[in-house]
Amino acid sequence: MLRTTAIVASIGLLGTMAHADTLTFYTAGPGGLADALAEAFEAETGITVNVFQGSTGQVMARLEAEEANPQADVVVSASWGSAEDMHARGLLMEYTSAHAQTVPDFLKHSHYAAQGVSALAMVWNSQSDVPRPEEWSDLTDEVYRDLITMPDPSQSGAAFDLVAGLEAAMGDDAWNLLAALADNDMIVPGPNAAALNPVLQGAKAVVFGAVDYISYGQAESGESIEVISPASGTVIAPRPMMILESSANADSAKAFVDFVLSDAGQALVAQTYLMPARTDVEGLRPGISDLTIIDVDADAATARRDEIIARFNETVINR
């Protein structure tokens, strides 16, 4: 749904905003963050922000549908590979914000930079009757039979990154692990929320490959769940923020990117339990230095996307 968020502090501001620029912002969730960033940016600049929020797949589908008449100015995806692909196709504007100085090199590029970062984890319902798992492979135990969910890599860019990462770290053993999970009656109900909800409700006990920031927020709000990052390693999911080359509002788009990477913008990112992209902004959850990160060649994984998803479907869904 496309919505316009506007902040009007006084009658006097109405005249200013009537002539202000308008920015169109397409973003993968969280929706609350999109609205918070839009409202704060508007309050600071008077620029009206039109927000379309959906899954990465929905955002990319909308961009493709509008290819002949692009509408978006700034895009945030939950998949780093989508930014690499769009850059390779010449769709992105070159821009590096002055606020990106403390964003690590592996989280920025000449044409995009991370808005924030999540990681993939297990999420365990602590009120369930099964023991707390510590490693991915623990979930192959009989005690977890028919109690495991996983997001679908074809619908979740982060879940795809996890499958590609496990393959990079483990080779064929990763596929053996996924086959064992399928044999243990793991279900793959859809995108991230569809995998998490049965665990929140107590119908299932553990998510394999949950996007962690969502679950940190749920736990803080009182849900009986725990986020577990295996010591053997996991993948991070940077959320690339990019300006489309087709933008007719380049100055406003650059100002918006600057705001998201500013102290105020990164503080709003941190409030959603994402890791801030900037290392000098404190988060509300474990950071990158607290995790064992699997190194993934994102270009190679993106090039093999169809192959990896087909093998996942054969191994897990259509076994």
Q: Residue 48 and residue 8: Cα distance in Å, rounded?
A: 10
Based on the fold, state whether residues 145 and 207 are members of the same structural domain: yes
Based on the fold, state whether residues 59 and 160 are members of the same structural domain: no
Per the structure, the complete domain to which residue 168 belongs is given by 118-235+292-317
Based on the fold, state whether residues 260 and 309 are members of the same structural domain: no
Based on the fold, state whether residues 175 and 195 are members of the same structural domain: yes
CATH code assigned at 261: 3.40.190.10
Based on the fold, state whether residues 223 and 84 are members of the same structural domain: no
Q: Residue 250 and residue 145: Cα distance in Å, rounded?
A: 53
Based on the fold, state whether residues 101 and 187 are members of the same structural domain: no
List the chain pLDDT tens, one digit each, 319 residues: 444 443 333 223 333 333 348 999 999 978 799 999 999 999 999 999 999 998 888 899 999 999 999 999 999 998 888 899 899 999 999 999 999 999 999 999 999 999 999 999 999 999 999 999 999 999 999 999 999 999 999 988 889 999 999 999 999 999 999 999 999 999 999 988 999 999 999 999 999 999 999 999 999 999 999 999 999 999 998 999 999 999 999 999 999 999 999 999 999 999 999 999 999 999 999 998 899 999 888 888 888 999 999 999 999 999 8
Per residue in 71-87, pLDDT (tens digit) is 999 999 988 888 998 99
Counted domains in the chain: 2
Note the pLDDT of residue 88.
93
SS3 17: helix
Q: Which H, E and C letters describe 46-100, residue by residue? A: CCEEEEEEECHHHHHHHHHHCCCCCCCCEEECCCHHHHHHHHHCCCECCCCCHHH
Within 8 A by CB and 6+ apart from 255, the residues are 41, 45, 47
- The one-character DSSP state at 135 is S
Note the pLDDT of residue 13.
32
Based on the fold, state whether residues 100 and 187 are members of the same structural domain: no
Based on the fold, state whether residues 81 and 160 are members of the same structural domain: no
Question: What Cα–Cα distance (Å) separates residue 35 from each residue in 57, 196, 277?
Answer: 20, 23, 19
Note the pLDDT of residue 158.
85
Note the pLDDT of residue 1.
45
Based on the fold, state whether residues 23 and 93 are members of the same structural domain: yes
Based on the fold, state whether residues 190 and 46 are members of the same structural domain: no
Among 199, 164, 149, smallest CA distance to 317 is for 149
Note the pLDDT of residue 8.
31
Based on the fold, state whether residues 78 and 151 are members of the same structural domain: no
Q: Residue 241 and residue 217: Cα distance in Å, rounded?
A: 22
SS3 24: strand
Based on the fold, state whether residues 77 and 124 are members of the same structural domain: no
